[in-house]
Amino acid sequence: VCFIERCLQYFSKDLALLLCASFCSISVTIDPKIPDCVKKDIQRFLECSSLSLLFDEINVQNSKYLLSLNESQVLHVSLNSEENSYSIVQGNITSYTTPFAFNCIRSLEEMKFNNPIKMRQLIENYKVKIIQDINSFHRLIKQAENDYYALYKAYIFIASSGNAYVIIKNARLQNCINNETNIKHLLNVLEQFIEKMGGFDAISSLKGEPLL
């Protein structure tokens, strides 16, 4: 029941890396040398923070595109035998976490009482916020099919969310279901613009209060 609290003890603020990976359906591998009880805690944390249920409709026809999105995007949890601690090794992706994910972990750490139910609810609150933001972003992208200014508004929206990487990643996963060529093109244009602005880390900013 207390797996979230234990994961905080294992990784501290680095747990945001696992959280963001789970938000984005990025693969996480676990060192075989890590004790089974720790593996189980990590797996349960990834399951509870996953948004994968949103994408159950992804069909075989689009599975190759889905695999290409996640290609070379892997986090590895390893054991530091000398210090008896755990570390997270990132792959060759631009950014594995966001201010939004860090804010969630900070909120968990700042809880006065480590209540497993409240911790789980806090993560659920953040997941709901992501889903709301994905839906809002999708509406703006749909508008951008006929109005390019809406694409700029979509950029402003994700930049101010502090969670641009997660929203874009999930928008691409969602497009695996809908398979809309125009949307895919607009997402490509938006990502190219983000790269010109310095990448996801450069545009991210977090506003608002923690979602307690």
Chunked mean pLDDT (size 10), the chain, 212 residues: 91 92 88 92 94 58 46 70 72 68 94 85 95 95 93 94 93 83 93 91 63 54
Q: Is 176 domain-assigned?
A: yes
Question: Where does residue 110 rank: exposed (0-12), middle (13-18), buried (19+ CB within 10 A)?
Answer: exposed
pLDDT of 82: 59
Domain span at 174: 3-205
Burial of 194 per CB tally in 10 Å (0-12, 13-18, 19+):
buried
Q: Over the range 167-184, which residues count as b (16 or more CB within 10 Å of their CB) and which as e?
A: bbbbbbbbbbeeeeeebb
The confidence score (pLDDT) of residue 68 equals: 46
The verdict on residue 183 lying in a domain is yes
Q: Where are the alpha helices (DSSP H) in 56-147?
A: 60-70, 99-109, 116-143
CA atoms of 166 and 171, how far apart (whole Å)? 8
For residue 128, which phi and psi values (nearest 5 degrees)? -60, -40
Our count of domains for the chain comes to 1
| Distance of alpha carbon 206 from alpha carbon 5, whole angstroms | 24
Taking each helix axis from N to C end, the angle separating 116-143 and 99-109, rounded to the nearest 10 degrees, works out to 160
Assigned token pair, 188: 């490509």
Asked if residue 49 is part of any domain, the answer here is: yes
- pLDDT of 179: 80
Q: Is the pTM of this model over 0.75?
A: yes
CA distance 209 to 66: 33
Asked whether residue 138 is domain-assigned, the answer is: yes
In a domain, 112, yes or no: yes
Taking alpha carbons only, the member of 122, 113, 125, 105 closest to residue 10 is: 105
Asked whether residue 153 is assigned to any structural domain, the reply reads: yes
Asked whether residue 44 is domain-assigned, the answer is: yes
Does residue 30 lie in a domain region?
yes
Q: Which H or E run contains 89?
A: strand 85-89
